[in-house]
Structure 1
Amino acid sequence: MLGFVYRRLLYMIPTVVLVSVVTFLIIQLPPGDYLDTLAAELSDSGGLDEGTKEALRVRYGLGEPFFVQYWKWISGIVFHGDFGMSFEKNLPVGDLIWDRLGWTFAISLLTLLFIWAVALPIGIYSAVKKYSFGDYAATFFGFIGLAVPNFLLALVMMYVAFKYFGQSVGGLVSPEFIGEPWTTEKFVDLLKHIWMPIFVVGTSGAAALIRIMRANLLDEIYRPYVVTARAKGMSEFQLLMRYPVRVALNPFISTIGWILPTLVSGEIIVAVVMNLPTTGPMLLRALLVQDMYLAGSLILIVSLLTVLGTLISDLLLAWIDPRIRYQ
Structure 2
Amino acid sequence: MTTFIVQRLLSLIPLVLAVALFSFVLIDAAPGDFLTELSLNPHVSPETIASLRTKYGLDRPWYIQYFKWVRGMATGDFGYSFSYNRPVLDLIGERVINTSLLALISLLFALTISIPFGVIAALYRYKWIDKVLCSFSFLILSFPSLFLSLLAMLFAASSGWFPIGGARSLGYENLSSIRKLTDFLHHAFLPALVLSLRMSAIYVRQVRVTLLDVLSQDYIRTARAKGLPKRMVIFKHGLRNALNPLISMFGNSLASLLSGAFVVEVVISWPGIGSLTLTALLSRDPYLLMACLTYASILLLGGNLLADLLLAFTDPRVRFVRANP
Fold shared by both chains (TM-score > 0.5):
yes
- Cα gap change, 1:51/1:178 in structure 2, threshold over 3 Å: closer, same or farther? farther
- Specify the alignment match of 1:56 in structure 2: 52
Q: Which amino acid aligns with 2:36?
A: D
- Cα gap change, 1:112/1:47 in structure 2, threshold over 3 Å: closer, same or farther? farther
Pair 1:151-2:146 in alignment: yes
> Is the Cα–Cα contact under 8 Å of residues 108 and 266 in structure 1 kept in the other structure?
no
- Specify the alignment match of 1:193 in structure 2: 187
Q: CA deviation at 1:116?
A: 0.2
Q: Which amino acid aligns with 1:169?
A: I
Distance, in Å, in 2 between the alignment partners of 1:239 and 1:164 is: 44
- Specify the alignment match of 2:24 in structure 1: 24
Give the alignment partner of residue 134 of structure 2, picking from 139, 147, 153. 139
Q: Which amino acid aligns with 1:155?
A: L
Give the alignment partner of residue 237 of structure 1, picking from 231, 240, 247. 231
Pair 1:216-2:199 in alignment: no
**More deviation in 298-307 or 256-265?**
256-265
Superimposed CA distance per residue, residues 123-160 of structure 1 (whole angstroms, 9 cap, x where no aligned partner): 01100110112111111211111111122122123223
Equivalent residues in 2 for 1:211-290, closer than 5 Å: 211-260=205-254, 267-290=261-284
- Cα gap change, 1:264/1:76 in structure 2, threshold over 3 Å: closer, same or farther? farther
Superimposed CA distance per residue, residues 172-209 of structure 1 (whole angstroms, 9 cap, x where no aligned partner): 45xxx336424266765544432111111110000011
Superimposed CA distance per residue, residues 213-271 of structure 1 (whole angstroms, 9 cap, x where no aligned partner): 11111111111110100010111111111122111112332243235557766511111
- Cα gap change, 1:170/1:286 in structure 2, threshold over 3 Å: closer, same or farther? same
Distance, in Å, in 1 between the alignment partners of 2:174 and 2:118 is: 39
Give the alignment partner of residue 183 of structure 1, picking from 170, 175, 181. 175
Distance, in Å, in 2 between the alignment partners of 1:267 and 1:63 is: 34
Q: CA deviation at 1:325?
A: 2.5
**More deviation in 253-262 or 155-164?**
253-262
Q: State the aligned residue count.
A: 319
Distance, in Å, in 1 between the alignment partners of 2:206 and 2:9 is: 30
- Specify the alignment match of 1:312 in structure 2: 306
Pair 1:170-2:148 in alignment: no
Distance, in Å, in 1 between the alignment partners of 2:43 and 2:212 is: 64
Distance, in Å, in 2 between the alignment partners of 1:264 and 1:145 is: 18
- Cα gap change, 1:35/1:179 in structure 2, threshold over 3 Å: closer, same or farther? farther
- Specify the alignment match of 1:76 in structure 2: 72
Q: CA deviation at 1:303?
A: 1.6
- Cα gap change, 1:187/1:11 in structure 2, threshold over 3 Å: closer, same or farther? closer
Pair 1:161-2:164 in alignment: no
SS class of match (2:173):
coil
Q: Which amino acid aligns with 2:55?
A: R
Structure 1: segments with no counterpart, 5+ residues: none
Distance, in Å, in 1 between the alignment partners of 2:29 and 2:196 is: 34
SS class of match (1:14):
helix
Distance, in Å, in 2 between the alignment partners of 1:153 and 1:263 is: 14
- Specify the alignment match of 1:36 in structure 2: 36
> Is the Cα–Cα contact under 8 Å of residues 111 and 199 in structure 1 kept in the other structure?
yes
RMSD: 2.2
Q: Structure 1 length normalisation: TM-score? A: 0.90
Q: CA deviation at 1:162?
A: 1.8
Pair 1:300-2:294 in alignment: yes
Q: Which amino acid aligns with 1:28?
A: D
Superimposed CA distance per residue, residues 268-295 of structure 1 (whole angstroms, 9 cap, x where no aligned partner): 1111110101111101111222211111
Q: CA deviation at 1:167?
A: 5.3
Distance, in Å, in 1 between the alignment partners of 2:181 and 2:299 is: 30
SS class of match (1:28):
helix
> Is the Cα–Cα contact under 8 Å of residues 35 and 49 in structure 2 kept in the other structure?
yes
Structure 2: segments with no counterpart, 5+ residues: none
Q: Structure 2 length normalisation: TM-score? A: 0.90
> Is the Cα–Cα contact under 8 Å of residues 195 and 257 in structure 2 kept in the other structure?
no
- Specify the alignment match of 1:12 in structure 2: 12
Kindly, what percent of the aligned residue pairs are identical?
37
> Is the Cα–Cα contact under 8 Å of residues 157 and 164 in structure 2 kept in the other structure?
yes
Q: CA deviation at 1:90?
A: 1.2
Q: CA deviation at 1:2?
A: 4.2
Q: CA deviation at 1:307?
A: 2.0
Distance, in Å, in 1 between the alignment partners of 2:239 and 2:88 is: 44
